[in-house]
Each structure stands twice: as C-alpha cells, then as structure tokens.
Amino acid sequence: MQAGMVTRYPEGINVYYQISDPMIFELCERVCDRLAIRLQEQTQQIEQLKLFRP
C-alpha cells in the first residue's frame, strides 16, 4: 500500500527508493534527539550509582 512517503525509481534491473516526505526526516531527528537525551540521563544515573559502591 502506498502512503506517499517513499518514491520508487526503477532503473533497468535496479529499483531505487527515495523518501519523498520531508516530515520523515524531521521525525527521525526528533526521535534521535530524544534518544540522545535519554542515554545521557541514564549515563548520569549510572555514574551517581557508582558513587555509592563500596
């Protein structure tokens, strides 16, 4: 089913795909930014826990 997010370009025996909706890139950036923040928070939590190790 086509959702209009990807454009397909057949060329000989090859088929190339291109993201056609720029919103997809914005969504990916937001997800990656949020993941980076969570990773940083978890790293800080681990470092704090290490302070309590005997």
Q: Has residue 5 been placed in a domain? A: no
Q: Has residue 14 been placed in a domain? A: no
What local confidence, expressed as pLDDT, does residue 37 receive? 97
Q: Has residue 15 been placed in a domain? A: no
Q: For residue 22, how many C-alpha atoms fall within 13 Å in the half-sphere facing its CB?
A: 0
Q: Has residue 46 been placed in a domain? A: yes
Q: Has residue 51 been placed in a domain? A: yes
Q: Has residue 40 been placed in a domain? A: yes
Q: Has residue 41 been placed in a domain? A: yes
> Could you list the residue range(s) of the whole structural domain that residue 49 is in?
22-54
Q: What is the pTM of this model?
A: 0.61
Q: Has residue 6 been placed in a domain? A: no
- 2-53, pLDDT tens digit by residue? 678 889 999 999 999 999 888 999 999 999 999 999 999 999 999 998 888 7
- Number of structural domains (the chain) is 1
- How many angstroms separate the CA atoms of 10 and 25, rounded? 23
